[in-house]
Structure 1
Amino acid sequence: MLTSRNLKPVLLAGFYSFLTLYGSANAMSSAELLALQKSSADKQTIAEPSISQFKKAKKKSLLESSAILSNGKYWTLVPKNALLHVPENLRSKVVTSPRGKLISWKDFSAMNPAWLSKEKIDIATAKGSSPINYERFKVMSNRGKIIVAVLGDNPIGVSSSSVQKEVTVSM
């Protein structure tokens, strides 16, 4: 069986067998082949891009790009823009410095159904190409719970252009 380790010798052996069978009158010598390879390698120099051509991405830590939800004893992380709605009376559940034990989103959401709700969205909504309409947003906000956008059962950030905060009338 041919593998990547023994393929090159087989190909070379096949090439030399071809030359033996069909003659090498028109074939290049190994020296000519090496010279041709060297000249083509010299012609194919690639200019290295300068660092200034690339825009440097601003580095953020996981905590900087996440919202921390806490019940006092346990806490978990969700993307900041996964929080679709936080009622005024539950703002204390979104903290800046965690206390207690870090647990998974799955365990945390199962532990806190009284004040935490999941809103299933699709990938188009998360990207911002399919908005959440105003009526749906209004219904979510009236639940009196923190609403976290989820795809499957995992929190996902939602583009700000997906959430329509006012009614748009098309004419």
Structure 2
Amino acid sequence: MPMYQIQHTIPLTASQKHAIARSITSLHSTTFVTPSLFVNVVFQHLKTSDDGPNYFLAGEPTSASHGPNRILALVRSSPGRTKATFDDLAVKIENAWYDAIGDSHDKQAKKMHFIAFYPMIAVRENGVAIPDAGNEGTWLKENMPYFKSQAYEHDDEEFKKMIEEVYHRDDLKALLS
């Protein structure tokens, strides 16, 4: 459902990317009661290329070794998903960024410039239309036969993990009641 694009100017190790992706997945899926399978995270290294810099700030090229880093998140919105909720989530994601980066870069290079959330209108993911925010329970119940079919008839490991998560996480299990 959500798509988090981490645009970074510092090189990240595989373990740093993994830590950031796991943190974002956990934070988003528990804040908005979403199965982890539907939380997408992609990394894009914004480095200077042969034709010059790829990041400009205030109309001027910005050194790839000195930030800025940013996270853009395409998310479902609704009146129940308030600005305060997204502000709180952004703080937690920013903290996860700094925890994962640690002391591997100087302060200026690892600085998180901004985290932005913007709404999606409609998305089809993994064979189903995503639910309107706030209708996850109905969506999960209606699509569970399809998810089980993908998991067990089509031997899809990701759907098997999702079904296991649904039955082990109290917040997701409550959506099926």
- TM bucket by the smaller chain? under 0.3
Which structure exhibits the higher relative contact order, with contacts defined as CA atoms closer than 8 Å and separated by 6 or more residues?
A: 2
Q: Answer 1 or 2: which has greater helix percent.
A: 2
Q: Which is higher, the Rg of structure 1 or of structure 2?
A: 1
